[in-house]
Chains A and B, each alone.
Chain A
Amino acid sequence: MRRAKINKIIKFSNVDGPGNRMSIFFQGCNYNCLYCHNPETINMCNSCGTCVGSCPVGALSIVDSKVCWDKKLCVECDRCTNICLIDSSPKTMDYSVEELLKEIKKVSGFIRGITVSGGEATLNYEFITELFKEVKKLGLTTFVDTNGSLDLREDIYSEFIKVTDNFMVDMKVWSEKKHKDLTGVDNLSVKKNIEFLGELGKLYEVRTVVVPEFLDNLETVTEVSKLIGSINSKNQLDERIIYKLIKYRQIGVKKENLEGKLLDLTSPADEIMEKLSKVAKENGVQKVIII
């Protein structure tokens, strides 16, 4: 039986696709973004034990040389994730498909679907494929939120794509070099995936975080919206692809980055967001959402 590390489950989420959804955040990411707002999801816990002493309520302990977390005692003060040396968390949960399905069934009457996110959810594509097959039997929709780094055109992903209703893809920055500076990885796959999923009619949304004075937001928004516009005109689907423009916010970002490379960067003003939204619309994106 396949298992996966889950960082967090949000029973009701209104920002991860259409309607009310359960969002499941997988642990582990192949990017290391400077502005990551949940860096504790990046790496797997190595049980170094640094966090254990930081817990004010004794919810952490070491059993069989592994860090264990007692959910019932935890007061969610986040001291453990703040002190973590490797951008991880002792608070992950280990689930089988069956166990996760049990959690989903509890709320299935209130949601219209499941969204998997991360970390980077697609790193667990085999687990998710099995999960989604079951989720579909409940009459729920299946969405994947991804950084688009895996080349989803490859054969090994075909079943995963088949059971996924829609994808939401991050396009962090258009310039390849800048993308590598920001995330540690180039963005060739991301662009290919957007085209590929768009043509399949399985691209629900593209997302860009707007960071003024740090990224070339105008270039990214212009190029991405042209790409969406061309897919929209080719597909002629009723459901248009959403372009979500997200304001950079300091909340959750690693302290050393806020004091280093991201020093003094603040959230973009509404006027900047509106201007970018206008650009996107001019390039053929019908639905632009600013958050």
Chain B
Amino acid sequence: MSILDIIKDTNITFEQRVLGLARAAENSIDVLEMTDYVKEYREAGIICDLFEGNAPYRPRYILPDYDKFIKGGCEFLNITPPTDIWEATNNLLMFYKHVPSITTMPVYIGNIDYLLEKFVTDENEDECYRAIKLFLKHIDTTITDSFCHANIGPRETKAGMLILKAMRELELPTPNLTLKYSEETTNKLAIESINTALVTAKPSFAKDSMYREDFGGNEYGIVSCYNGLEVSGGAHTLVRVRLGRLAKKATNKSDFMENVLPKVAHEMLGYIDERIRFILEESVFFQVNFLVAEGFIKKEKFTGLFGMVGLAECVNHLMELEGKNGRFGSDDLANELGENIVKTLTKIIKDHKCKYFESEEKKHLLHSQVGIETDAGESPGCRIPIGEEPEIFEHIVQASPFHKYFASGIGDIYSFDETYKKNPQAILDIINGGFNMGLRFFSMYGSDCDVVRVTGYLVKKSEMEKLDQGKVVLRDTTILGKGARDNGRVLDRKLRKK
């Protein structure tokens, strides 16, 4: 898109226009070293850096230590620690405006229930409810991108319950929300969360014990769509491979497994490292940003994300090359091949050492990427193509072996009909069963909601309709959502009935 096109676009807000212009400026230079292979595969859309830009000048995902901020304030912003709910919410809102990301807006805003809990008492609950509702409304209106993600739990808190209640009332897509779910989580909090998700498509459930183990017991957060990352850190970059397209390069299954796949993985890791090199060595982010200087984030807690999309299409193509007609999602052999592909990638990533990481132990993380709006004919991550989903039970059994490989994000979305509103415990039974079987993340929404989950982020159906009519809408994710609806049929997801 030319600069003038951006200036003249009638479908975007002022803010989206400014961001578009910044992106165009960044992309007017070429400063990254790339092998011919990476250049060719980027051109072909097989390796894709998700529009991160040609000269990355900040990490893609940043998870500041908000707990430190609430307790100690911030010198650079001249903010002192809060003494009540109004100061606490206001301080956070000020801070959020200074947390960059790939979208320029924060993708992680903290475990907001724990951050606010100490200001909520039995006596001031009504006042706190008002403050929290305004806080959430403020976020939705000013962080106009639903990759912004908040976490709650695992413990039940008064603040957490007020947050859920406010979200049910507001029915807004931003912020996205995940409940960290563990043995500490009360049944009341879990059921309240499900009741909220059936109204406004959030929270998702994250299996806390699995993430804790993957992050060596360190604090983690669920950010953006569903990426698990370390608090005080984040991810410099996310580069992904489109496996469906990649499979077409192979002459047969063994050519894919032995040559095509390892080659693309090594090349991609090199490209991820190059993007990290630029951020660390040429951009000045880690030298000058106050988040680093005051210790809200630490360089050594950042990693790189190796994303993959279109496993189903890849497997189906390889099966065809083998003269077999089993399909990913319903055929044991196809599912096994899918898992072998993921295993192969896991090993290559584990064996790779990024020279820009100080610790030998630090590795890039595998991410089951949910896809973007232009991905026609490529299913998100390891998901079964929409429309081919089996019964929910078979679906969970099929999906569960994949979750252990993806510390930094994988998940399926289940749509439930309205009868579940009368029996939310039934959904909790399904979630518990799924987590026991190996799932790490579970998203759901009610089929009759206005707010729906597209691939990981949330949009309002009513806003997409506005966009259909050529009107300007506030959130950039609505534009992405419309693309995913039109190209990815995301609203035709199998409905779970009794």
Interface residues of A (CB under 8 A from B): 10-16, 18-21, 106-107, 109-112, 289, 291
Q: For the complex formed, measure the closest distance between the CB of A226 and the CB atoms of chain B, giving whole angstroms.
A: 24
Sample of 29 A–B contacts (CB below 8 Å): A11-B393, A12-B393, A12-B430, A12-B496, A13-B426, A14-B420, A14-B426, A14-B427, A15-B419, A15-B422, A15-B423, A15-B498, A16-B498, A18-B423, A18-B425, A19-B423, A20-B425, A20-B426, A20-B427, A20-B429, A20-B430, A20-B433, A107-B433, A109-B437, A110-B396, A110-B429, A110-B430, A110-B434, A112-B429
User: How far apart sit A291 and B420, CA to CA, in the bound complex (Å)?
Assistant: 11
Contact B426 A19 (CB under 8 A): yes
Q: Count chain B residues whose beta carbon lies closer than 8 angstroms to a beta carbon of A.
A: 21
By secondary structure, the A interface counts as loop
B393 touches A14 (CB 8 A): no
Could you say which residues of chain B place their CB within 8 Å of the CB of A14?
419-420, 422-423, 426-427, 498
CA distance A291 to B423 in the complex (A): 12
Whether a CB of chain A sits under 8 angstroms from the CB of B391 is yes
Max chain B Cβ within 10 angstroms of own Cβ: one of A20, A106, A111, A291: A20
Mark interface residues in B390-422 (1 if CB within 8 Å of A CB, else 0). 011100100000000000000000000001101
**Which of B393, B420, B423, B498 is in CB contact (< 8 Å) with A107?**
B393
B413-451: CB near A (< 8 Å → 1, else 0) gives 000000110110111111011101100000000000000
Known: A10-B498, A12-B426, A13-B498; 17 extra A-B contacts, CB below 8 A, are A12-B392, A14-B419, A14-B422, A14-B427, A14-B498, A16-B498, A18-B425, A19-B423, A19-B425, A20-B430, A110-B393, A110-B430, A110-B432, A111-B429, A112-B425, A112-B429, A291-B419
Flag if A109 contacts B425 (CB, 8 Å).
Answer: no
Of chain B, the residue at the smallest CB distance from A15 is B498
Question: A13 to chain B: which residues have CB within 8 Å?
Answer: 426, 498
Residues of B with Cβ closer than 8 Å to A? 391-393, 396, 419-420, 422-423, 425-430, 432-434, 436-437, 496, 498
User: A291, B393: Cβ atoms under 8 Å?
Assistant: no
Give Cα distance in the complex from A14 to B421, angstroms: 10
The verdict on A289 contacting B422 (CB below 8 Å), with A11-B393, A12-B392 known, is yes
- A106 contacts which chain B residues (CB < 8 A)? 393
Q: What's the Cα separation between A19 and B498 when bound, in Å?
A: 12
Q: Which 6 residue pairs spanning A and B have beta carbons closest together?
A: A110-B433, A20-B429, A14-B426, A20-B426, A19-B425, A109-B433
B205 CB → nearest A CB, Å = 14
Considering the chains assembled together, what is the distance between the CA atoms of A111 and B433 in angstroms?
8
Contacts of B392 in A (CB 8 A): 12
CA distance A107 to B430 in the complex (A): 10
Q: How far is the CA of A106 from the CA of B429 in the complex (A)?
A: 15
Which residues of B are found within 8 Å of A19, using beta-carbon distances?
Answer: 423, 425-426, 428-429
Contact B426 A11 (CB under 8 A): no
Residues of B within 8 A of A289 (CB): 422
Within the assembled complex, what's the spacing in Å between the Cα atoms of A16 and B430? 15
Which of A12, A13, A291 has the most B CB atoms < 10 Å from its CB?
Answer: A12
Contact, CB under 8 Å: A109 / B436? yes
Shortest A23–chain B CB gap in Å is 8
**Bound complex: CA A15 to CA B40 (Å):** 55
CA distance A212 to B430 in the complex (A): 37
A246 to chain B, nearest CB (A): 12
**Distance in Å from the Cβ of B198 to the closest Cβ of chain A?**
12
Distance in Å from the Cβ of B431 to the closest Cβ of chain A? Answer: 9
Residues of B within 8 A of A291 (CB): 419, 422
Q: A21: which B residues are within 8 A, CB to CB?
A: 426
Instruction: Chain A residues near B396: list those with CB within 8 A.
Output: 110
CA distance in complex: A274, B135 (Å): 37
> In chain B, what residue has the closest Cβ to A244?
B422
Closest partner residue, chain B, to A14 (CB atom) = B426
CB nearest neighbor in A for B418: A291
Inter-chain CA distance A109–B397, complex, in Å, is: 11
Q: In the assembly, what is the distance between CA of A11 and CA of B425, in Å?
A: 16
Q: Inside 8 A of B433's CB, which chain A residues have their CB?
A: 20, 107, 109-111
How many Å lie between the Cα of A16 and that of B422 in the bound state? Answer: 12
Query: B392 — nearest CB in chain A belongs to which residue?
Result: A12
Bound complex: CA of A268 vs CA of B245, how far in Å? 54
CB-nearest residue of chain A relative to B496?
A: A12
Specify which of A10, A12, A14 lies most central, judged by the most chain B CB atoms within 10 Å of its CB: A14
Q: Which residues of A contact B430 (CB under 8 A)?
A: 12, 20, 110
In the bound assembly, the distance between CA atoms of A242 and B427 in angstroms comes to: 20
CA distance A10 to B433 in the complex (A): 17
Name the distance in Å between A267's Cβ and chain B's nearest Cβ: 15
- Tell me which residues across on chain B come within 8 A of A20, comparing CB atoms: 425-427, 429-430, 433
Chain B residues with CB below 8 A from A107, complex form: 393, 433
Q: A98: shortest Cβ distance to chain B, in Å?
A: 21
Most buried by A among B420, B429, B434: B429
Q: Which B residues lie within 8 Å of A18 (CB)?
A: 423, 425
Bound CA span A10–B396, Å: 16
Report the bound CA distance from A10 to B391 in whole Å: 10
Instruction: Tell me the bound Cα distance from A106 to B397 in angstroms.
Output: 10
Task: Give the residue name and chain of the B residue nearest to A109 (CB).
Answer: B433
Complex Cα spacing A16 to B392, Å: 18
Roughly how many angstroms separate A111 CA and B427 CA in the complex, as a whole number? 10
Q: Which residues of A contact B429 (CB under 8 A)?
A: 19-20, 110-112
Contacts A19-B429, A110-B430 given; does A11 touch B391 at CB 8 Å:
yes
Give Cα A291–Cα B434 distance, bound, in whole angstroms.
28
Residue of A nearest to B497 (CB): A14
Q: Given the complex of chains A and B, what is the CA–CA distance between A18 and B427 in angstroms?
A: 11
A21–B429 Cα gap in the complex (Å)?
9
Task: Tell me which residues across on chain B come within 8 A of A10, comparing CB atoms.
Answer: 498
Give CA–CA (A10, B496) in the complex, Å.
12
Minimum C-beta distance from B142 to chain A (A):
39
- The CA-CA distance from A20 to B425 in the complex, in Å, is 7
A183 CA to B103 CA, complexed, in Å: 65
In the complex the two chains form, what is the Cα distance from A103 to B396 in whole Å? 16
The CA of A14 and the CA of B429, in the complex, are separated in Å by 10
A272 and B22 CA atoms in complex are apart in Å by 60
Q: How far does the Cβ of B85 sit from chain A's closest Cβ, in whole Å?
A: 35
Q: Distance (Å) between the CB of B477 and the closest chain A CB? A: 31
Which chain A positions have C-beta within 8 A of B393?
11-12, 106-107, 110
